[in-house]
Amino acid sequence: MKKLFAEFFGTFWLVFGGCGSALFAASVDLGIGYTGVALAFGLTVLTMAYAVGHISGGHFNPAVSIGLWAGGKFSAKDLPGYIASQVLGAIVAALALKAILADKGVGSFASNGYGELSPENYGMVSVIIAEVILTAFFLFIILGSTSEKAPKGFAPIAIGLGLTLIHLISIPISNTSVNPARSTSQALFADGAYLSQVWVFWLAPIAGAIIAGIIYKTLFDKD
């Protein structure tokens, strides 16, 4: 149960901190903009990886859990509990954000989308390609930095900076998912047809994570 609570709180912080920065601080005068939002997402993962990573592994993302399973680093029997905790943590964070925005309305609610729902009108194929590639490299970073042969204690920094870079690349494309829990929580409450597109933000990140897990296990995780 400690592991599941750790995943719940870690994912809550990721959504509340990352999406909250986009909702509250990105668009105001002298706000943080895309760069600040990207950094906020990276900081949420970095801080919670240090806080509870030693308890649960610090996944905070169904695609990460599945990718680690594909790479032989996580047990299949633990997947349902981890994914449920992550999605629930994300939804509770979204509810908190919605409550703060009660007087203003949620609008797009920092949701992910393609076509007219993409920040810069990127189509579905472009979004799928970006999400697959970026999630795959996110898993490479996680698997490599947490390897027994990697320098100890620095994995959260590499992972947090990796997620920052991913957001710097892809906020204009899809508002950056690489995390099905984060996509689901926001789409549930957003104004617009975001929920009808959320399947893409499950399929593409999970596909990218599985690809990365298999490649890393096959090519790099051998003596």
- 21-28: long-range contacts at Cβ-Cβ below 8 A with a sequence spacing of 24 or more? 22/110, 22/175, 23/97, 23/101, 23/109, 23/110, 24/100
Give the per-residue pLDDT at 221: 82
**Contact indicator for 110, 23 with CB cutoff of 8 Å:** yes
37's enclosing H/E stretch is: helix 33-56
CATH architecture assigned to 2-220? Up-down Bundle (1.20)
User: Residue 33 — left, alpha, or beta (φ > 0 → left; ψ -120 to 50 → alpha)?
Assistant: left
* Domain residue ranges in the chain: 2-220
Give the per-residue pLDDT at 209: 98
For residue 46, the number of C-alpha atoms closer than 13 Å in the C-beta half-sphere is 15
**Contact indicator for 38, 46 with CB cutoff of 8 Å:** no
Tens place of pLDDT for every residue, the chain, 223 residues? 999 999 999 999 999 999 999 999 998 888 999 999 999 999 999 999 999 999 999 999 999 999 999 999 999 999 999 999 999 999 999 999 999 999 999 999 999 999 999 999 999 999 999 999 999 999 999 999 999 889 999 999 999 999 999 999 999 999 999 999 999 999 999 999 999 999 999 999 999 999 999 999 999 987 5
Hey, what's the torsion of the CAs at 121, 126, 127, 131, to 10 degrees?
A: -150
- Tokens representing 57 are 């592994």
- 155-160: long-range contacts at Cβ-Cβ below 8 A with a sequence spacing of 24 or more? 155/49, 155/53, 156/45, 156/46, 156/47, 156/49, 156/50, 156/53, 156/58, 157/46, 159/45, 159/46, 159/49, 159/58, 160/42, 160/43, 160/45, 160/46, 160/47, 160/49
**Contact indicator for 209, 70 with CB cutoff of 8 Å:** yes
Give the per-residue pLDDT at 96: 98
Give the per-residue pLDDT at 223: 58
- Helices (runs of H) and strands (runs of E) counted in the chain: 8, 0
